[in-house]
Amino acid sequence: MARVSSLNSVAVTRDLFFALLLARSPATFFCPAFGAATRDLFFALLLARPPATFFTLLLARSPASFFCPAKAVSLSPALMLDMQEGIIHHNLRATGMTTAASPLRDPFGRPIEYLRVSVTDRCDFRCVYCMAENMSFLPKAELLTLEELDTVCKRFMAVGTRKIRLTGGEPLVRRNIMQLISSLGEDVARGALDEVTITTNGSQLYKMADDLYRAGVRRINVSIDTLDADKFRDITRWGKLDQVLDGIEAARSAGLAIKLNAVALRGFNDDELPEMIRWCGEMGTDMTIIEVMPMGDIGSETRLDQYLPVSLVRANLAKQFTLTDLDYRSGGPARYVQVEETGRKLGFITPLTHNFCESCNRVRLTCTGMLYMCLGQDDNADLSHALRRRGVEGLDAAIVEAIGRKPEGHDFIIDRRNTAPAVSRHMSVTG
Ligand code: SAM
Ligand code: SF4
């Protein structure tokens, strides 16, 4: 809000100046001191800002607003972003690719500080709630190269992104992915980014954990929905539990902090979740339980059969564990409790039973360069086109414009009347 009001005061000052110049307001006639103060403020503004910002501000206002005080003080979201763009462009030029002073805000005032990048939609598993067995994937020719992905990430850092999560599909099966991870790790080392994290199914960790740590990764999320090897193969279709458990061990030895993700699945793992919570307690890792989301066609499976409200999960867990609500927020959609018996945090992500959009701080990039401003909506921006046709300046403009269109939220529903996916793309496309 402080930023909005300071932008407001910039706009009001400029409008007052032009009102004085063009129309001579009664206040100026009757109070010369007021006119002088306005002029001084204007020149302070002019000197403190580079010409580009000044002209952005100038052009952003219609002539009508010079003469309409009400218009002068009410900033539309689009105008607010225009102004941010001017200031950000100044920051980018002046600082030569260090971070902007503050993150871009969307039309609802939410700071956008977190970018999730699906580096590939391909995967070595076929989890039944995520994909159909015979998936068709995005054409490889349309993928952004690793260099292009790195450029997009860096432009996001320049407009205030502080955290990047690589996801997928399975991010660790993308060829040469360590190249991108190492580059982002260097961004962390030089302070342009707070952290680079990864969400993985764990299948490649046994051979990549040390490299991840060396590249600057410190925390990873590993997704496991069961600790039973047969059930694991059933749910992932192609996965081997032992390989993933070896990977978790390798990650812990390498020094990576792990959080476990499990999707709550009716009749599949509801009975097993307490055991998984205890296992996390023994390993000293936190855990998050996720509600299944209606994203993408999953062939013969139906999400109505899979859907288990997390509110129900929590009620059942409360019979076995002492769950204490925590104020802790990881900046994401999870609400956390402390499991007193294990001393670890347990998160609940409830897109269906509790809409978490009010605190949303993220946008999502696909491996083909489409930016989705909301997981549950179809609106997107083609950053690949912007970068390839209009270069980095075009990319910057497209990022700012896209965040100016971020919707207030999604409205996922799974019930008997709404069994079709809410969005046609799979979770693996946006991660
Ligand atoms: N392959 C990696 C993995 O499984 O961790 C990263 C990508 S995966 C799409 C990221 C997370 O989304 C995983 O925790 C997975 O269980 C979850 N997920 C996938 N499809 C989902 C769906 N339809 N609803 C809820 N969570 C889903
Ligand atoms: Fe692959 Fe992750 Fe989807 Fe499972 S949830 S199929 S591991 S992308």
Statement: residue 9 has pLDDT above 60: no
From residue 118, how far is each of 45, 133, 402 by CA, in Å?
41, 20, 18
Element (H, E) at 407: none
Token pair listed for 78: 């689009």
N-to-C CA span, the chain: 30
Phi, psi at residue 128, to the nearest 5°?
-65, -25
* 105-117 pLDDT, tens digit each: 999 999 999 999 9
**Ramachandran region of residue 267, left (φ > 0), alpha (ψ -120 to 50) or beta?**
left
* 141-185 pLDDT, tens digit each: 999 999 999 999 999 999 999 999 999 999 999 999 999 999 999
Ligand 1 atom at minimum distance from 298 CA: 23
- The reported pLDDT for the residue numbered 412 is 59
Give SS3 for 131. Answer: coil
Cα(368) to centroid(ligand 1), Å: 19
Tell me whether residue 230 is exposed, middle or buried, using C-beta atoms within 10 angstroms of its C-beta: 0 to 12, 13 to 18, 19 or more: exposed
Contacts of 405 (CB under 8 A, 6+ apart): 107, 373, 379, 381
Ligand 2 atom at minimum distance from 427 CA: 3
High-pLDDT (> 70) share of the chain, %: 71
**What residues are in contact with ligand 2 under a 6 Å CB criterion?**
123, 125-127, 130-131, 168-170, 201, 223, 428
Which residue's C-alpha comes closest to atom 19 of ligand 1? 130
Cα(263) to centroid(ligand 1), Å: 8
Nearest-CA neighbor of 155 among 363, 376, 406?
Answer: 363
Work out the widest C-alpha separation in the chain, in whole angstroms. Answer: 85
Nearest-CA neighbor of 360 among 348, 338, 376, 379?
Answer: 376
Contacts of 167 (CB under 8 A, 6+ apart): 116, 117, 118, 119, 198, 199, 431
Statement: residue 62 has pLDDT above 50: no
Average pLDDT of 210-216? 98
- The reported pLDDT for the residue numbered 43 is 44
Pocket flag, ligand 1, residue 167 (CB < 6 Å)? yes
* 365-398 pLDDT, tens digit each: 999 999 999 887 889 999 999 999 999 999 999 9
Q: How many other CB atoms sit within 10 Å of the CB of residue 216? A: 18
Dist. CA 330–CA 320, nearest whole Å: 25
Tell me whether residue 252 is exposed, middle or buried, using C-beta atoms within 10 angstroms of its C-beta: 0 to 12, 13 to 18, 19 or more: middle
Of 118, 126, 425, 426, the one to substitute when testing ligand 2's pocket (max ligand atoms within 8 A of C-beta) is 126
* 263-302 pLDDT, tens digit each: 999 999 999 999 999 999 999 999 999 998 887 887 777 7
Question: Residue 431: nearest ligand to its CA?
Answer: 1
Nearest-CA neighbor of 243 among 344, 342, 172?
Answer: 172
**What is the pTM for the complete model shown?**
0.79
Ligand 2 atom at minimum distance from 236 CA: 4
